Amino acid sequence: MTGPLLRIEDLHVSFSTRRGMVEAVRGVTLSVDEGEVLGLVGESGSGKSVTGFATTRLLDAAGRITAGRIVFRGQDITRIPSGDFRHLKGAAMSMIFQNPRAALNPIRAIGQQLADAILTHRRISKDEARAASLDLLRAVQIRNPEQRMTAFPHELSGGMCQRVMIAIAISCNPALLIADEPTTGLDVTTQKVVMDLLAAIAAERGMATILITHDLGLAARYCRRVVVMEKGRLVEEAEPVELFHAPKHPYSKRLVAASPTVSSRVEDLVPEEERGPFLAARLVPKSAPAPGTPLLLDIKSLTKRYDDGPAAIADFSMTMAAGESVGLVGESGSGKTTTSRMICRLIDPTEGEILFDGYSIGHVPARDFHRSPFRKDIQIVFQDPNESLNPRFNGFNCIAHPLLRLGKMKPGAALTKRVRECAERVGLPPDLLERFPHQLSGGQKARVGIARAIACRPRLLVLDEPTAALDVSVQAVVLQLLDRLRREDNLAFLFVSHDLNVVRMMCDRTIVLRNGGIVEEGESRAMFENPKTDYTRELVEAVPHIRRAPALAVT
Amino acid sequence: MIITTLGATVKRAAKRFLSSLPALFGVLVFTFLLMRVLPGDPAVFFASGPNAGKAEIELIRKQMGLDKPVPQQLVYYLYDLGRGNLGNSIMTGQSVTKDLRDRLPASLELTFSALLIALVFAIPLGVLAALRPGSLIDHGIRLFCALGVCVPTFVSGLLLIYVFYYLLGIAPDPTGRIDIFTSLPPSRTGFLLVDFLLAGDVSGWWGAFKQLILPAVTMALFVIAPLARITRASMLVSLGSDFVRTARSVGLSWWRIVVTYALRNAILPVITIAGIVFSTMLGANVLVEKVFSWPGVASYALDALLSSDYAPVQGFVLLMASIFVIVNLVIDVLYGIADPRVSVG
Amino acid sequence: MTAATLRHAAWILRGNPLTGIAAAGVFALVLIAIFGPSIVPYDPVSSDVPQALQPPSWAHLAGTDQLGRDSFSRLIVATRLDLTIAVSAVGVSFVLGAVIGSLCGYIGGRLDRAVGRFVDVLMAFPLFVLAMAMVAALGNRIENIVIATAIINLPFYIRFSRAEVNIRRNLGWVEAARACGDSHLSVVLRFLLPNILPAMAVQMSLNLGWAILNAAGLSFIGLGVTPPTPEWGIMVAEGARFISTGKWWLVAFPGLSLMLAVLCFNLLGDGMRDILDPRMRT
């Protein structure tokens, strides 16, 4: 066969919404050769997933291809009837989705789901289908495949579910595999294992793969060619090395800069000319706290047990000086969230002591802590900006809330002034204060959440994955903002995150947690450059890196 | 694997049964107390007449155990209950256990038929509406559902009687389970439709069927709406779910996607709602049985209630609560079979 | 009610005319309940035996009953009673249920289990039978219909508000409120309750319809309201005796009144979901 396996020409996709037609993809042209791995990179709303769904004809009822051609093996597949197209799905092209657990039928054994896929395209007996399913489970390296055949998705881990999903997708040896954010939501170590497996299978079977992802590092590691999309348009197409070393399009430049790497510093994340006036504050390197400064936080063998289960966190001790920033890193189930909530005095520890500024606050029950004089000193920024704001409060009320409660202010001109100041400090335009959370973007919501947390000038700020739900370019701005606020107010940060690159940038020291215990702790850069424990090394190696030329890293 | 799932389901059902025992006991005590504060002295009611002497009333009081303190009466009641004795009905002069046993099949036959009719109509309607959301069919079904829940059973029952008995003359006289001239089949299950079939009496079966159909449809009309609504809603969720998208992405056939993948998942909440609907129908029986003079337990209890006859009402409420517990158990088991997730934890 | 809310309501009504009709219907019902008794053409309780059992005509829009009373006047006058019963019953169970349920959902633990047990006991009764028994026990009066209807509704409100609070109790903004210095109690009353109110309002509207049916059902079997008081359920019960002889209007018109009232509340409930939910606001 001559020509590429798949060629998308000037594709336009529109969705009909309550506010009329919205164009999600506006003229995308790209091609994939047999056996090639193409990365499709972009932030939310870039139209990268829609392009994938349009190719496999899985758009929602509201979505429609309005123009363009999708040529697969020389045939324009936008024009063939859906009955015929069904035979292409699975057999010629298939798809892997984000959130593997939801992508599998919860009440059907995985062996049956595999057999369903196989029997749709091949005329073989049920026993043969069963044998083929078993082979597939072996191919995706699932242990004890015979037993797993009768298991249901809820009995498997997220990584296992994604392997099953891969098995289903490759069940009929398609020529093209479209993987839509296949590892988003998985722990970083699982992510590496799944991606390695996917890459190996694709190479072994000669399948062309389109990897749709928001993660530049992931695309760099696994793809030969990367396409960058922004707002439904294709802005740049290049080989990874070239793209990351010398991006041409302004958007690619911004994206590459915003993606944290091993060597990036907070101030590099946003190009100089694009920093807002609020970020122009001088970034003075912070000196280490003078010896003899009293500890801000001193935690001694903290333990939390829920009901009768195993301890969510056991024997956790740490100290923090004023103005210091400490990272708390771990995968899901490591106990980092529980620990952060205890330090915030939102839940009670089962055992252990928390000293703040030399006073024991661990013994004040969480339900009475709102009356404690230290309440305003310890504040928190939450993970998901969508869930961290009261849907019935507008921006102003959200920020005014702690001022009224903890700052003992009364509604009036003084309060309005204070709220506006806080908004200004986080770079939130004053006219947005009247808006309700659902009218704000993710980044704006994150700013409101930060403004609320700093309104009463706390001394310790707990940040619970503050940027995990944000796009990288927004994350870059928010991280810079946080870093500036810390320097200005001499705030201490307890930065909870799963993203090692972010922690490395933001924190002086880092504590690595696993299964409710401390694995390793130390000065951030030193620890990540030279991990002492196997687990930390595994974590560090699992992070997909963009290898940048040293000259560029220093600018 | 299947064995362990079943075992877990049975274990869960047993656990659920044990945990519902306190509730059942609560019902018992609550009903007992409620009945004791009912106005009207049954001793006076059942004395020979308005001019009965004080002594006569006292005697009846004693016979009925009403002179004892209330806690003691409760203990006696529980003791009797343990021996399967629900007391005697003053109204019928028979033991409540016997009365209830005689009338329960009538109520159950009516309720089961109504539920069956409702499910047979509601599920396809719900699925149809969900497959074409926003279409004419969808709007029609939603309108029908909206109207269905608004008409009280006693009104729709009466209007059906007016149309099918008075106007069209195709329905029989709406009183009771059977024409008074038809001879009853030998009672095996108590369900007339089944008993007539077993006896091979086709015309008797037809007669019983004609008597049953109007009250059953009346009751079904009232519950089709919630069932169809939940089927539509959960089918919509199911069809929009990630796993249906997966099924479409590998090119499964339409039937497999809609029935095996979407409907089987969508049916889970319908099972739960069907259980609630069944229990609601047991209570709503009172109205339908009254309209159609249906000789079931509900109309029996209503008559007893209006004549301050404690024992049948207590017996009835207890019976209803027990059926409720059993229905919940059945739902649990069904759910456990249909959904492998619940057997965990 | 701010201007924005009104604008939003108007916008919703334009896109969803059925809700507008339902709201107008409810408004009309309220007007009838208030002014009905003073505008009816006939005295709803005085009998006129020569005019008994007349089919609908221009003089008697809904016909007359067995005592010659004008059914239309009785239907109008009955509106006040039926609405009062439903509204007060739903009001009582909403207030109690919302507070108890949200406290249980937020605090959990022993209180939650104890209330859960109580709700189980209540739910284990066939609810209509429970209402019957309670009206019979407490006495055949209208207040007791209200109490009985309120009690049998209570479990739904408790369960509903409990579930709604339970899914929100660990959200960021709830924890944020505590970090901003609110006590648990204030979080429940000032943050969680207002947030579950839209969902509760929808339930209440749907529930009002159900309460009307329930009260009518009780008087249909002879409990609560007593003749000659005009009430829709009793009117159906009185008409039931004549249905086999073809006097359809005695059942059809009270039935229609019940249906329209319930329909309005149900449709309004569905529509309100859109109006009160700020997330739908654009």
Residue A455 confidence (pLDDT) above 50: yes
Q: Are residues B149 and B76 in the same domain?
A: no
Is A551 part of a structural domain of the chain?
Answer: no
Contact C215, C264 (CB under 8 A): no
> Does the pLDDT of residue B213 top 70, yes or no?
yes
pLDDT of residue A366: 86
Number of domains in chain A: 2
Q: How far is residue A56's CA from residue B239's CA, in Å, rounded to a whole number?
A: 17
Asked if residue A487 and residue A344 are part of one domain, the reply reads yes
Q: Would you state the pLDDT for residue A288?
A: 55
| A381 assigned to some structural domain | yes
C-alpha C138 chain-centroid distance:
21
Average pLDDT, chain A: 87
Residue A283, pLDDT score: 47
Residues A7 and A389: their CA atoms lie apart, in Å, by: 44
- Give me the pLDDT at residue C281, please: 41
Residues of C with CB under 8 A from a CB of B: 117, 120-121, 124-130, 132-134, 136-139, 209, 213, 216-217, 220-222, 233, 236-237, 239-240, 243-246, 248, 251-252, 254-255, 258-260, 262-263, 266-267
- The most distant pair of C-alpha atoms in chain B lies apart, rounded to whole Å, by 87
Domain assignment present for residue B96? The answer is no
Angle at A217 between CA A197 and CA A211, to 5 degrees: 50
Indicate whether B71 belongs to any domain: yes
For chain B, say whether A52 makes contact (Cβ under 8 Å): no
User: What pLDDT is recorded for position C197?
Assistant: 83
Instruction: Provide the pLDDT confidence category of residue C251 given band limits of 50, 70 and 90.
Output: confident
Q: B27 lies in which domain range?
A: 1-91+312-345
Q: Does residue B106 have a pLDDT over 50?
A: yes
Mean pLDDT of A4-18: 88
Residue C67 has pLDDT above 80, yes or no: no
CATH number of C236's domain: 1.10.3720.10
Read off the pTM.
Answer: 0.82
Residue range(s) defining the domain that contains residue C123: 24-41+58-281
Residues A248, A306 within the same domain: no
Q: pLDDT tens-digit profile of B233-253?
A: 899 889 988 999 999 888 888
Asked whether residue A431 carries a pLDDT value surpassing 80, the answer given is yes
Nearest-CB residue to B243 (from A104, A120, A171): A104
Strand partners, A492: A460
Inter-residue contact B212 to B177 (CB < 8 Å): yes
- Within-domain flag for B110: yes
**Separation CA A24–CA B130 (nearest Å):** 26
Number of domains comprising chain B: 2
- Does the residue C190 lie in any domain? yes
pLDDT over 80 at C5, yes or no: no
Rounded to a whole number, what is the distance in Å from the CA of C30 to chain A's nearest CA?
30
- Say what percent of chain B tops pLDDT 70: 89
- Residue B88 clears pLDDT 90, i.e. is over it: no
pLDDT at C49 over 80: no
Of the candidates B24, B38, B162, the beta carbon closest to that of C124 is on B24
Helix (H, G, I), strand (E, B) or coil at A71: strand
Averaged pLDDT, C168-191: 87
- Considering chain B, what is the average pLDDT of its residues? 82
Q: Which residue of C has its CA nearest to A347?
A: C175
Coil, strand or helix at B239? helix
Partner residue facing B26 (CB), from C121, C255, C263 = C121
Compute chain B's Rg from CA coordinates: 24
Q: Is C175 on the interface with A (CB under 8 A)?
A: yes
Residues A287-311: tens digit of each pLDDT:
555 556 678 999 999 999 887 778 8
Tokens of B191: 């369900």
Out of B249, B261, B344, the one facing A105 most closely (by C-beta) is B261
Token look-up 């947390």 returns: A453
Domain stop point among A230, A259, A288: A259
Per-residue pLDDT for C229 more than 90?
A: no
User: Is a pLDDT exceeding 50 seen at residue A396?
Assistant: yes
Res B51: pLDDT? 59
Classify residue B327: in a domain, yes or no.
yes
Query: How far is Cα B330 from Cα B325, in angstroms, rounded to an integer?
Result: 9
- Say whether pLDDT at A268 is over 80: no
Range of the domain at A9: 1-92+218-259
Q: Is residue C16 part of a domain?
A: no
Whole-number Å distance between alpha carbons of A165 and A504? 33
pLDDT tens profile B135-182: 888 888 888 888 888 888 888 888 888 888 888 888 788 877 877 777
- Same-domain check for residues A252 and A303: no
What percentage of chain A has pLDDT greater than the value 90? 41
**Listed ranges A482-491, B61-70, B196-205; the one with the highest mean pLDDT:** A482-491
Q: Is residue B97 part of a domain?
A: no
Residue of higher predicted confidence among C251 and A288: C251
**Predicted local distance difference test score (pLDDT) of residue A400:** 93
Tens digits of per-residue pLDDT, A172-224? Answer: 889 999 999 998 888 888 888 999 999 999 999 999 999 999 988 888 889 98
Interchain pair B246, A152: CB under 8 A:
no
Strands A359-360 and A351-356: antiparallel
Cα angle C104-C106-C111, degrees, rounded to a multiple of 5: 30
C251 contacts B159? CB cut-off 8 A: yes
Q: What SS3 class is residue A182? A: coil
> Does position A281 have pLDDT exceeding 60, yes or no?
no
pLDDT of residue A93 exceeding 50, the answer is: yes
Query: Which of A261-270, A454-463, A544-553, B77-86 is most confident?
Result: A454-463
Q: Residue C133 and residue C223: Cα distance in Å, rounded?
A: 10
| Inside any domain, residue C211 | yes
C179 touches chain A (CB under 8 A): yes
| B221 assigned to some structural domain | yes
> What is the rounded average pLDDT of the residues A335-356?
90
Please tell me the predicted confidence (pLDDT) of residue B344.
44
pLDDT tens per residue across span B278-323:
888 887 888 899 888 888 898 888 888 877 777 788 788 888 888 8
pLDDT for residue A550 is more than 60 = no
Question: Which of A146 and A20 is assigned the larger pLDDT?
Answer: A146
Task: Tell me: do A310 and A403 sit in the same domain.
Answer: yes
Of A270-284, A462-476, A513-527, B11-25, the range with the lowest mean pLDDT is: A270-284
What local confidence, expressed as pLDDT, does residue A482 receive?
A: 92
B162–C243 C-beta distance less than 8 A: yes
pLDDT band, residue A380 (cuts 50/70/90):
very high
Output the CA torsion B103→B105→B108→B113 (10° steps): -130
Residue A186 lies in a domain: no
Tell me how far the alpha carbon of residue C198 is from its chain's centroid. Answer: 16
CATH, residue A239: 3.40.50.300
